[in-house]
């Protein structure tokens, strides 16, 4: 068995057992004997943006939505359905596809070993027939059409398209009815072979588990050879959005708005994300002067918030909410950012925002499922979530002010609005 490394993180109350198998698979286990549940999370660095790539000198251009389509089809096995078998063991399972990753996971209070074997088996065993693919085409086409009636999806999709006209992040993760019609069993087999190789994946387990069982089963059930490297292509984008404003009308009570700012590619994804989150909190968090002003004037409500999102090739800082005067809110957001960049960040505001972000990260990893998700998606992005306390210690108000001054620029902004019909 591959050598196992044990690392303690006293500030998080966690101990991680980790290893990298001969095939390149990274495994992280957080054992908790006092938990009744165990959670397993098996993910691949393959999402909606990974449509164009090169392997061993051969170029591939795949249909939009294929990563999501593949996720839907992975539960079908030659002689059983993975969902049904996991349910029979008392395990609760699910899966999702994001722009950058696809993940399969389950949680159980008993029969962990049996459920874990099923997870490894179905994720690593592709099985597609022309009939099952044709049936899934209809199901996902219906999902796409239903999504066309979602104001929230339209709001964000229109923003991404305005900001990133070249990068595939500007398109839909689930594709279009036209794009998925190009998917065949052959294209699914080809993408599984390339992206579901262990060297492109990570496996995280947390809860009442024995790390040795996890390592031994993964090593026994998965192929031993390493797959060739994948070269991915996302296109070259301008620092500026293609459109600064996009509007549509849908069935909403109040206008919905999202202000997006185009961020540069982050060298240290975790550090950049922590800085962006602190900046968002200082600009318009619930303890900020701007939030109090907007809320007291009735220009926004408790649903108003912010978020950051980094991905290969770029990133976004986003402010979203509903308002009877969205343009006024957007103008005040720009004004607040400009003032912070010019005059600096008050020490009390920085410390408050930093504490809020630290506490939010601790709470966000307070369960086996949350630990697995945070660590797995972090590893796929090149970092370990367990590093965040030390990174937070080193952050200064000047780091956040520098980020606001260089990244939160009106010239990089785009606005998406959904108006009532």
C-alpha–C-alpha distance, residues 4 and 6, integer Å? 7
C-alpha–C-alpha distance, residues 300 and 230, integer Å? 45
State the Cα angle at 198 between 204 and 6, rounded to 5°.
40
Question: Which residues are annotated as catalytic?
Answer: 71
Expressed in angstroms, the distance from the first to the final Cα of the chain is: 62
Residue in 28, 51, 59, 419 with CA at minimum distance from that of residue 205: 28
Q: What is the side-by-side order of every strand in the sheet holding 52-55?
A: 58-61, 52-55, 231-233
Q: What are the C-alpha distances in Å from 213 to residues 29, 57, 113, 120, 216? A: 10, 38, 8, 13, 5
Q: Are 169 and 309 in contact (CB under 8 A)?
A: no
Got the DSSP string for 30-85?
EE-TT-S-EEEEEEES--TT--EEEETTEEEE--TTHHHHHHHHTTB-SS-BHHHH
pLDDT in tens, 291-320: 999 999 999 999 999 999 999 999 999 999
Q: What is the mean pLDDT of residues 189-199?
A: 96
Q: Is the pLDDT of residue 1 over 80?
A: no
pLDDT in tens, 220-267: 999 998 999 999 999 999 999 999 999 999 999 999 999 999 999 888
| Residue 33 binned pLDDT confidence (cut-offs 50, 70, 90) | confident
**pTM for the full predicted model:** 0.94
Position 197 scores a pLDDT of: 97
pLDDT in tens, 348-374: 999 999 999 999 999 888 889 999 999
Residue in 378, 258, 271 with CA at minimum distance from that of residue 318: 258
- Quick one: DSSP state of residue 237? -
Name all domains of the chain by residue range, CATH numbers in brackets: 5-233 (3.30.830.10), 245-420 (3.30.830.10)
Residue in 114, 71, 120, 115 with CA at minimum distance from that of residue 93: 115
């Amino acid at each position: 068995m591959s050598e196992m490394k044990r690392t303690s993180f006293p500030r998080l109350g966690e101990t991680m057992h980790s290893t990298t198998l001969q095939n390149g698979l990274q495994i992280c286990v957080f054992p908790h004997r006092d938990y009744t549940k165990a959670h397993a999370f098996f993910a691949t660095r393959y999402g909606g943006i990974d449509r164009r790539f090169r392997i061993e000198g051969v170029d591939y251009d795949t249909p939009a939505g294929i990563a999501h389509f593949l996720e839907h089809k992975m539960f079908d096995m030659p002689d059983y359905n993975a969902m049904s078998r996991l349910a029979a063991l008392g395990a609760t399972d699910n899966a999702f596809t994001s722009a950058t990753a696809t993940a399969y996971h389950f949680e159980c209070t008993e029969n962990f070993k049996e459920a874990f074997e099923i997870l490894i088996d179905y994720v690593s065993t592709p099985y597609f027939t022309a009939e099952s693919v044709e049936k899934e085409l209809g199901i996902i086409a219906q999902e796409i059409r239903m999504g066309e009636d979602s104001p929230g999806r339209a709001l964000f999709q229109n923003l991404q398209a305005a900001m990133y006209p070249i990068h595939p992040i500007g398109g839909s993760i689930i594709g279009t009815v036209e794009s998925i019609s190009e998917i065949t069993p052959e294209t699914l087999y080809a993408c599984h072979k390339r992206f579901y190789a262990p060297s492109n994946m990570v496996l995280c387990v947390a809860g009442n588990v024995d790390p040795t069982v996890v390592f031994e089963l993964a090593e026994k059930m998965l192929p031993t050879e390493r797959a060739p490297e994948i070269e991915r292509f996302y296109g070259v984008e301008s620092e500026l959005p293609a459109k600064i404003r996009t509007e549509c009308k849908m069935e909403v009570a109040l206008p919905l708005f999202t202000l997006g700012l185009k961020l540069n590619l982050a060298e240290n994804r975790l550090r950049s994300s922590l800085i962006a989150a602190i900046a968002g909190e200082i600009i318009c968090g619930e303890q900020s002067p701007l939030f109090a002003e907007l809320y007291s004037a009735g220009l926004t409500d408790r649903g108003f918030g912010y978020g950051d999102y980094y991905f290969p090739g770029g990133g976004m800082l986003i402010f979203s909410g509903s308002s009877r005067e969205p343009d006024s809110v957007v103008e005040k957001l720009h004004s607040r950012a400009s003032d912070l960049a010019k005059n600096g960040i008050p020490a009390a505001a920085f410390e408050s925002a930093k504490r809020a972000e630290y506490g939010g990260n601790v709470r966000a990893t307070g369960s086996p499922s949350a630990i697995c998700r945070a660590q797995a998606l972090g590893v796929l992005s090149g970092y370990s979530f367990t590093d965040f306390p030390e990174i937070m210690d080193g952050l200064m108000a000047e780091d956040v002010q520098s980020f606001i001054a260089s990244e939160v620029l009106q010239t990089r902004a785009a606005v998406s609005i959904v108006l009532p019909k």
